[in-house]
């Protein structure tokens, strides 16, 4: 995955850390970490978000709103926000590719 390579190949430093983390998060979510299907009202998320859910909100809807901060300017983000507003969504968890750890 491109987002993974970008994160591990970049040294994070103090004054650039926030922008580097934001860029990595957007890359992760845009690179398959968050998929939104408007027809089925399904939000498919990386299990990393589930494993560390306490960092992204206290509930499913809070997590989805957190995601919108990073993808809100995209069609995917607008669709997700609409699904949150209408409370018409179902979260499913993707399989994790353990091969990324090698």
Tens-binned pLDDT, residue by residue, of the chain (102 aa)? 444 454 555 566 677 888 888 888 999 999 999 999 999 999 999 999 999 999 999 999 999 999 999 998 899 999 999 999 999 999 999 998 888 766
Task: Please give the pLDDT value at position 1.
Answer: 47
Burial class (CB within 10 angstroms; exposed 0-12, middle 13-18, buried 19+) of 43? buried
- Answering whether pTM is above 0.95, one says no
How many CA atoms does the CB half-sphere of 87 hold within 13 Å? 0
Task: Please give the pLDDT value at position 21.
Answer: 87
Task: Please give the pLDDT value at position 11.
Answer: 62
Residue 60: CB atoms within 10 Å: 17
Nearest to 67 by CA among 16, 30, 19, 96: 30
Beta partners for residue 42, in sequence order: 37, 90
């Amino acid at each position: 995955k491109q987002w993974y390579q970008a994160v591990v190949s970049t040294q994070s430093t103090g004054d650039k850390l926030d922008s580097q983390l934001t860029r990595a998060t957007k890359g992760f979510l845009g690179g398959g970490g968050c998929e939104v299907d408007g027809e089925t009202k399904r939000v498919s998320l990386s299990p990393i978000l589930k494993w560390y859910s306490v960092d992204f909100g206290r509930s499913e809807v809070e997590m989805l709103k957190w995601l919108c901060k990073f993808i809100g300017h995209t069609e995917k983000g607008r669709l997700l926000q609409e699904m949150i507003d209408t409370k018409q969504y179902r979260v499913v968890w993707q399989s994790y590719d353990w091969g990324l750890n090698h």
